[in-house]
Amino acid sequence: MSFSDFITQVPPGVRLLLALAITIGVSLACVKFFHNRMIHFDDKNREAADKARAEAEAREEAEEPPISPRYEGPPETFYLAQRVLGLTATGFVFLLAFTLANFWGNANAARTATVDEASMFARAVALSASIPADQGGDQLRAGLKQYGRDVQVVQWPFLMHADSDAANNAQVLASSAVGKATLEAGRAGASKLPEWGLLTDSLKDMTADATTRVTQLPGPFVPAIIWVIAMLGLVNLSLSAAFQPSRIGPNLFLIGIMAGITGLLIFLVVETSNPFVGGGAVTIPSLG
């Protein structure tokens, strides 16, 4: 099963449980297995500091001048780790907030465009019913029916798999077919009817909303951005576990909480990246 099939076929609740189970489980296993090594990361620094203090005391007893009055050996590693943790945490939070805001805006725009498209489609269908068959009414109604089928059957799978090129091409073909039917109806005399202007405006708004719907798909760089966010979150989690150790019990508990929060945030980014899949996905419009 590909990743896109996994996203579209597995329920959101199951995906969330899998994400949390993997993130928390792997983190706790690493903490438990490497806890002793993490505790002794700074042993060499402490040995060097103790050696430097012992040498300084020996020189004082021998009344020798100190090599360096301020030198006490290398500082603890966790000081540098804190600087790195600050950088990774800032990058993770900043990219996460910025990306989530964009994804949320795309989802709202896609939902609004889909609702407006369905509304304009319904109005166009109602107006086309008044156009006589000898003035292109049959062709126009057939074109609208085919348009509704294309959106539901052809375009929507492309949207769910985030295939923007295929979805855009399918929308162009569907809009062109409706435009051709409208042009033929206008030449056959439908353009002289009083409702013609309202009908063409409805079709124009419908195709514009459809274009807006398609453009809310994630761009080609979105997977790379999600990977960067995930890597920053996992690096931040790993550095916290490695360079901020404590007793095994509190360590497991706190790292478990941190891993759960990190996994949840990464899951939210992935879940909202495509407006047409996930728990809050835009549903297929009723274009009957």
What is d(CA 235, CA 254) in angstroms, rounded to the nearest whole number? 16
Query: How far is the CA of 217 from the CAs of 143, 147, 157, 204, 222, in angstroms?
Result: 26, 20, 12, 21, 10
Alpha carbon of residue 85 to chain centroid: 23
The rounded percent of the chain whose pLDDT value lies above 90 is: 34
- Residue whose tokens read 């292109």: 136
Domain spans in the chain, listed from the N-terminal domain onward? 3-41+76-272, 45-75
| pLDDT bucket at 186, cuts 50 / 70 / 90 | confident
What is d(CA 103, CA 211) in angstroms, rounded to the nearest whole number? 18
Residue 25 tokens read as 């489980």
Angle at 101 between CA 100 and CA 106, to 5 degrees: 95
Residue 96 has a pLDDT of 93
281-284's contacts with Cβ under 8 Å and 24+ in sequence apart are 281/160, 282/107, 282/110, 282/111, 282/114, 282/213, 283/114, 284/151, 284/152, 284/156
pLDDT at 56 over 70: no
pLDDT at 8 over 70: no
Residue 134 tokens read as 């000898």
Over the stretch 72-129, which tens digit does the pLDDT of each residue have?
555 666 677 788 888 989 999 999 999 999 999 999 999 999 999 999 999 999 988 8
- Residue whose tokens read 């609702």: 115
Identify the residue with better confidence: 114 or 50. Answer: 114
| pLDDT bucket at 2, cuts 50 / 70 / 90 | low
Residue 47 has a pLDDT of 58
pTM for this model (two decimals): 0.76
Residue 15 has a pLDDT of 82
Residue 85 tokens read as 């943790």
pLDDT at 177 over 70: yes
Q: What is the dihedral of CA 131, 136, 142, 148, to 10 degrees?
A: -70
Q: Are 252 and 84 in contact (CB under 8 A)?
A: no
